[in-house]
Structure 1
């Protein structure tokens, strides 16, 4: 029996140490970023005075120019992948980051939609998948509907439902599967027949003809269809039942604005430009620092951890580098952050190291000070959440519940994801979730 791996011992001089993409890729990164994020730049001035929702021509030209840039960026990525060279880790992070950036743009930067697409699967080996067939299908979609864009799902880290995520020339998202081979087409035809005819003996005839392997493939294709239907229903209606977990998903109809900490981040980044470092604390619990001078880059993370720990941070408190957003599947990549392009590439290529830590002790005190209730969960409550596949964050070994007068919720990693990687202010985030979620029972 193999021994359980022990958790690495906390070392303030190792955790959050600088990481960056190979600097030889900076010119490529800038070109892909310009294409994927700024294809519509020629009409930005028109957007300031026009109404893109009501002006059909303006919307069509905006989407056509945006999608043209995305198509060109994706084609460049495809050419890199289809070359005979093996991708380096830096190339993989960059390519996936650009693809993720385009996916986030297509779903309006909405984490609730990204969660529906992400199934926790391991990254696909593009050399061993039906990648070439999907590329061909993407190109065909672009020719059928000029001005559209079909993103290849396998290029991203989180779009794991469907092979293509397509936005049409007038907007609107569709999810599609690309099937190759005679047997797959036969199974697809049977699925269509089965759902339309409701023949009680259809499955028996199918099993006799295709055997066990055919049945397994049929089951896989039905699961894929269920997942695509689930995502479509969530995006159209805001509610559905996750076929993988059987959990009900419900998204509030009205848009909920949660205040961000973008302005503080920009101020910190500009401060580190002028003096080599800068820092700030948001809501008395979110610690952020940026280090940019050579000496500070090498040792700044250690100084950050010591500073963070002096104010009550513990080894279990969430800590990240901003560049970690390039490798977390549900984080928006740095390309999508509301910071200057110069700051983005400084972080990506190692000229800045931005460290962020969430002090849980301070967070709980802050929540109490604004009128929320905080309590430790019982062992039974925590065990039930573990058994349901939604393990809570444990503070000093105990799960924590946070509540208002109407309901309460457990403190979980999903809250940290919003705070650390989606720049949402800690207190406002928790208040918004409590005020706009259906009642949660432990």
Structure 2
């Protein structure tokens, strides 16, 4: 599996072309996955639901300790690979980051609204050029102080871009830690501590005079980092905050309403493909799904899927993706985090199954209207205002689309497609919940 490519023009024979990771990485990936995601397996038969963990203090303690120890073991395995003499190729790096992402999603409870606060849209540091050794040391020291916690190294993931460590403590919850490294950083943090106590604005002038421009730039960078960490921590705790980079106001509504998932339908389709070599399904009348498992279908299944989708109302601009593409998108759930049997996960990753997905926009809008929602094109003024925000809406037939319920409405954004295809959320259930204010709009 190669690097993510720029969007290219639709081609029935090239779009959704077969992808896989090298089979040589499968056993390693299985071992890391078992540690990262199945550390509590020996306790599963004791847990019938969330209430069991709430009511049984010892079971809850054992569960968190086992989960965190498993995740720590997986992280140690990833670090050992990076620190070995062998240079990582890109596919192997993707798999390792996917495992680290699976740990992060567990810590964040699978909540995309929280994960987005950590992602700043840039590339993660190169694993060989970041301050990995010092952060590894800090992570291990944290574990010595509190063996029941997990300190996930942010740079190992594809989307945690705030803080050096994402720390999850069963008693204290989630915190963000920055590793203070180097003599200059020590000076800067000492100065910041002094300023917070003294509130002396003149101190900045004296600091600049004494330490020079380079130190001032470093000070500004650290202040930005501290501001981002404070913002993310506040949002995690209260659901509200103001993004220091964009000034965007964030408000995550407190009531929790579960959005329907189509993962069960995906599992059934994967099972059917095991029986006859291929299988198809349509979710909510607009999400087209094709699974190809037999040897002769693996290489040509995408052509069959594209042709079927095109004949069913799909257009070249409709969103299309492979399930394995989730390993390329920072805010997508990696395959390891989807609610799938382990066999199917590794079949998808290592080329024994190919899963094609597409959303027919025309059908999606019709299904919204059937559900009692209003659908309209944006006015020129609305379109211009949306474009100025930087969050450009999806365009259908060249037009932005608003979907509403008579009381509220929102513009259709690409983020909805990410959630449908790579988080397994049913589109109509998702859209209704967003309009009713039970989730933030992407």
Question: Could you tell me the TM-score, scaled by structure 1's length?
Answer: 0.96
Q: Is residue 279–residue 291 contact of structure 2 (8 Å, CA) maintained in 1?
A: yes
Aligned counterparts of 2:217 and 2:148: Cα–Cα separation in 1:
38
Q: Is residue 374–residue 403 contact of structure 1 (8 Å, CA) maintained in 2?
A: yes
- Show structure 1 runs of 5+ residues with no match: none
Q: Is residue 407–residue 439 contact of structure 1 (8 Å, CA) maintained in 2?
A: no
In structure 2, the residue matched to 1:381 is 382
1:356-435 to 2 correspondences below 5 Å:
356-435=357-436
Report the CA distance between 1:83 and its aligned residue: 1.3
In structure 2, the residue matched to 1:17 is 17
- Show structure 2 runs of 5+ residues with no match: none
1:180-195 to 2 correspondences below 5 Å:
180-195=181-196
- Pair 1:161 & 2:162 matched: yes
Aligned counterparts of 2:416 and 2:439: Cα–Cα separation in 1:
16
> Cα deviation per residue 1:319-368 (whole Å; 9 max; x = unaligned)?
11000111110001000111100000000101000000000011111111
Report the CA distance between 1:196 and its aligned residue: 2.0
Aligned counterparts of 2:347 and 2:221: Cα–Cα separation in 1:
44
**C-alpha distance 410-53 of structure 1, shift in aligned 2 (>3 A):** same
In structure 1, the residue matched to 2:41 is 41
Aligned counterparts of 2:390 and 2:129: Cα–Cα separation in 1:
31
Aligned counterparts of 2:238 and 2:124: Cα–Cα separation in 1:
29
Report the CA distance between 1:48 and its aligned residue: 3.1
Report the CA distance between 1:169 and its aligned residue: 4.4
In structure 2, the residue matched to 1:265 is 266
Aligned counterparts of 1:232 and 1:62: Cα–Cα separation in 2:
25
In structure 2, the residue matched to 1:350 is 351
1:4-83 to 2 correspondences below 5 Å:
8-48=8-48, 51-83=52-84
Report the CA distance between 1:51 and its aligned residue: 2.6
1:320 aligned counterpart, secondary structure: strand
In structure 2, the residue matched to 1:233 is 234
> Cα deviation per residue 1:28-50 (whole Å; 9 max; x = unaligned)?
01100110011112222233387
> Cα deviation per residue 1:209-257 (whole Å; 9 max; x = unaligned)?
1111111111111111111111111111111111111111111111111
**C-alpha distance 384-167 of structure 1, shift in aligned 2 (>3 A):** same
1:9 aligned counterpart, secondary structure: coil
In structure 2, the residue matched to 1:436 is 437
> Cα deviation per residue 1:74-98 (whole Å; 9 max; x = unaligned)?
1111011011221112211110000
Aligned counterparts of 1:439 and 1:164: Cα–Cα separation in 2:
26
In structure 2, the residue matched to 1:302 is 303
Q: Is residue 146–residue 169 contact of structure 1 (8 Å, CA) maintained in 2?
A: no
Aligned counterparts of 1:439 and 1:94: Cα–Cα separation in 2:
30
Aligned counterparts of 2:389 and 2:40: Cα–Cα separation in 1:
45
Aligned counterparts of 2:40 and 2:6: Cα–Cα separation in 1:
50
**C-alpha distance 83-6 of structure 1, shift in aligned 2 (>3 A):** closer
Moved more, 166-175 or 250-259: 166-175
In structure 2, the residue matched to 1:256 is 257
Q: Find runs of 4+ consecutive structure 1 residues off by over 6 angstroms.
A: none
Count residues with an aligned counterpart. 436
Q: Is residue 240–residue 250 contact of structure 1 (8 Å, CA) maintained in 2?
A: yes
Moved more, 37-46 or 327-336: 37-46
Q: Is residue 258–residue 424 contact of structure 1 (8 Å, CA) maintained in 2?
A: yes
**C-alpha distance 383-437 of structure 1, shift in aligned 2 (>3 A):** farther
Q: Is residue 107–residue 113 contact of structure 1 (8 Å, CA) maintained in 2?
A: yes
2:330 aligned counterpart, secondary structure: coil
Question: Could you tell me the TM-score, scaled by structure 2's length?
Answer: 0.96
**C-alpha distance 129-7 of structure 1, shift in aligned 2 (>3 A):** closer
In structure 2, the residue matched to 1:116 is 117
Report the CA distance between 1:436 and its aligned residue: 1.3
Q: Is residue 251–residue 440 contact of structure 2 (8 Å, CA) maintained in 1?
A: no
Report the CA distance between 1:437 and its aligned residue: 5.8
Q: Is residue 113–residue 440 contact of structure 2 (8 Å, CA) maintained in 1?
A: no
Aligned counterparts of 1:8 and 1:299: Cα–Cα separation in 2:
19
Q: Is residue 59–residue 170 contact of structure 1 (8 Å, CA) maintained in 2?
A: no
